[in-house]
Structure 1
Amino acid sequence: MTVAVVQFGGSNCDRDAVRALTYLGVDAERVWHEDGLPEETTGIMLPGGFSYGDYLRAGAMAAQSPIMDEVRSKAENGTPVLGVCNGAQIGCESKLTDGAFTTNKSARFQCEHVYLRVERADTPWTNAYDVGDVIEIPIAHGEGRFEITEKRYDQLEANNQVLFRYCDKDGNSTDDANPNGSTGNVAGILGTSETVAVLMPHPERATLPDIGGTDGEGILHGFAE
């Protein structure tokens, strides 16, 4: 299996992602967006960073790259796709998932550790956990507020597409535990397929034991699964 970690101008978490995946025994390589996906691609990760300097809005310009046509085609055929932070913004802008990520409620960049409650444990990205588990993952974003209309949010809920919610250390999903004002404390969601997911926190920064916690390992194991 080869996971293509797509690098855009301004990506800055692509090397972190490759290192974390390699540590977990997953074959991964950085792919410059203009070069297209390698033929052997069996998984795709859209990493964090500031693609195109977040001009217009975060992820909007990267979503227009021709490689995203390939990503959407692969996703429709069942290839696992994970968007993280800026990759989540690109994923939403590319219509891989519903909703959008906008400026944090605080109107400032936030870099801190947060708690997430696992809402589903039957997807490739969460089957290493149990429903209700609380994991600690870092965030680093200025536009991480998940926004969606009430009607579409109700559809997400009805379709059981919410993967993670921000919570406190005891698993309570409260306003105080919501770092950016996201609708419903949503931190990560599925696309129409369970093999496609986006999340704002950084699991690759909570995978290598020598740089901190390892609560993010289970999410990246989704590629191995």
Structure 2
Amino acid sequence: MNATTITSLTDRLGSRTLPEDHLAAATASLDLHHACAAAGLNLSVLPGVEHPGQVDLGSVGPETAVALTRMIRRTIKDALRASERLRAAICTHELDMPEPYVHRGQIVLGEIPLTTADRLVGLLGGPQPDPDVELSYWPEAQLLIKRLCQAFKQATHGGFLDPQFHPDCLRCQSDAALACGSIPVMTARRLARALERQPRTAA
């Protein structure tokens, strides 16, 4: 496909007669086509036909898909390294939590069991509660969130964490947990460093 394929759409109809979203799709298609061509990617980029106002990327061969994957990963190299470093630190301390992963340029922490969150507070230098406290009770869970946020902020030099408490659910048979969302790459790197400094402890 060459640039004429796309530009001819506006040449024939006239840019003033195209709805704004259609014109935006044509412009974006042309820009992406030029970028792919410059990068040597055989991508057939066109304004959407079945879905006007959208950009149709079409089908690509496996070689193009592999090349595109490599290019994208190069642009998020720092984020991927930070997530891998944090994953290794989590494994070292045998923390029962999902493996962190990269999404939209940030590091996703996911849902953390309350007992794991409590251990994380200790590893980050925060205060520990009475061992007989039932963390799944609402007041204690809110105190846990406060302790975790304070320890997290101190360990990551100002990093922000906004956990959401999810109580036990009898319907789906899931235990109470804290949904910790995602954090910036720099914060993830500092969190990993803070965990790396702590001696390994058994779960």
TM over 0.5: no
Question: Higher strand fraction: Structure 1 or Structure 2?
Answer: 1
Q: Whose Rg is larger?
A: 2
| TM-score, scaled relative to structure 2 | 0.28
| TM-score, scaled relative to structure 1 | 0.26
